[in-house]
Structure 1
């Protein structure tokens, strides 16, 4: 009977001890409370600082509360009991306590950061330092690197004096906490440095004459200069002069045209003539018959009298 009681006590202690969560700096992490639901109130704390508290049912004197720390401002309770922390920093590591209906569950958050002193692909023969920073661990915890070939490198830093092709691959940062080993990987890529070809040397065709590397090339006959200017510059100057001449002729023609119009306008104004001929309406009607002349009517001349015929 006593053995059963101790077994139940150990199980309860293990369930209340909580879990260890590992998060990378700058990412988002989710902490589990230890229970999936609650009936009264749920509260999350980091060390002695309140992060957030929410009641199951809104009552008169019960309402959600939020802490004022930097971690509290980036934390919120997700359905239904989990705690979400956005943008994890190295200062967020530590002990977290979840209280559900008066029962506490303590958890640990470890924040790890793996980095290389040189960003991007590493060059053969270059020097680089790999760092593994873990916060929230016990003083007696150990940190070491494991190379891609499986060999161990003691310490949280791995200094590579001359990068080789065998250094390419996945490096694992190994650290232990409460007897459990955790790891965080870092991918390393190695490439050969770019080689620059030497400048070509000019060989001399004539025997006995030294080669000339920094000689001034003489212009070809087609590119001969006239008065210090190339042929295309003379073409541009000619086209420009032609355009200016055409513009001057156009201005003179327009000016003379305006003068003629002004003289015509003044002559028409001084002579009293209408500026423009009037267009009268012309109707297509038959012309009226001529009126008879009034006065004494002219009598027709009377016929001459008949003369008697001469008798023979």
Structure 2
């Protein structure tokens, strides 16, 4: 009976350990920026992206080791255990792992941006496309556009406005959830009414105007 209790307790701790390792620290950034992934493991000596080695320290000699790939050229280990990535691209997004002392810590890098075409300054009746680019989301994660004021939601990353109205003006949010956190990108639309192509002006000498119009009509 005592042996069974020990085995059970050990199994529970093992399950808890796996759960803790599976938790992800989420980082959101934009293309072109620099992001630092801070590893919380004391003595961490290795960083992976997926299963690919980025940087590590040889346990015997302390010499730095580097993996292959374009992201390796734009990244480095800082303060011995943190990973700094510069000039970030959407292709950098995904799952990163730091490890050391028989421990692992998982980080998810999400690269996002939002835009409006042809422009964020629009006229009533014109067309516009709202585009939300998000890389690094886990499989099945949804991307939505939310109207100004938190109204109607559109479950798509690309939203077409076929006839812009004054009620479309304001901040549109692109929202998505990762690891229990809700992240967003925002674009602001400015909508104006198109001015008339002509202008009514007062005329003092109506007889002269009628004469000009009659002459034009008879010529």
Question: Aligning the two structures, in what range does the TM-score lie when normalised by the shorter sequence?
Answer: 0.7 to 0.9
What does 1:214-229 correspond to in 2, within 5 Å? none
The verdict on how the C-alpha distance between 1:135 and 1:198 changes in structure 2, with shifts beyond 3 A counting, is same
CA radius of gyration, larger in = 1
Scaled by the length of structure 1, the TM-score of the pair is 0.56
Which residue is 2:212 aligned to?
210
CA RMSD between the two structures: 3.2
State the 1:44 CA deviation: 0.9
The verdict on how the C-alpha distance between 1:6 and 1:165 changes in structure 2, with shifts beyond 3 A counting, is farther
CA distance in 1, matches of 2:193, 2:63: 63
CA distance in 1, matches of 2:135, 2:35: 15
What does 1:267-282 correspond to in 2, within 5 Å? none
CA distance in 1, matches of 2:149, 2:105: 40
CA distance in 2, matches of 1:213, 1:100: 95
1:196-226, CA deviations, whole angstroms, 9 ceiling, x for partnerless residues?
A: 6637888665587325999xxxxxxxxxxxx
CA distance in 1, matches of 2:69, 2:195: 53
Q: Where does structure 1 lack aligned partners over 5 or more consecutive residues?
A: 215-312
Question: What is the aligned length?
Answer: 207
The verdict on how the C-alpha distance between 1:13 and 1:207 changes in structure 2, with shifts beyond 3 A counting, is closer
Which residue is 1:134 aligned to?
134
Q: Secondary structure at the match of 1:198?
A: coil
CA contact (8 A) 1:26 1:89 kept: yes
What does 1:34-45 correspond to in 2, within 5 Å? 34-35=40-41, 37-38=42-43, 42-45=45-48
CA contact (8 A) 2:145 2:154 kept: yes
1:172-198, CA deviations, whole angstroms, 9 ceiling, x for partnerless residues?
A: 2222345x2522121313131452663
More strand by share: 2
1:46 aligns with 2:46: no
1:235-261, CA deviations, whole angstroms, 9 ceiling, x for partnerless residues?
A: xxxxxxxxxxxxxxxxxxxxxxxxxxx
State the 1:160 CA deviation: 0.9
Choose 97-106 or 70-79, whichever is displaced more.
97-106
Which residue is 1:158 aligned to?
159
CA contact (8 A) 2:58 2:65 kept: no
Q: Secondary structure at the match of 1:91?
A: helix
Which residue is 1:303 aligned to?
none
Choose 83-92 or 8-17, whichever is displaced more.
8-17
Structure showing greater relative contact order (alpha-carbon pairs closer than 8 Å, 6 or more residues apart): 2
CA distance in 1, matches of 2:103, 2:27: 20
Which residue is 2:186 aligned to?
186
What does 1:191-202 correspond to in 2, within 5 Å? 191-193=191-193, 195=195, 198=198
1:29 aligns with 2:35: yes
State the 1:168 CA deviation: 2.1
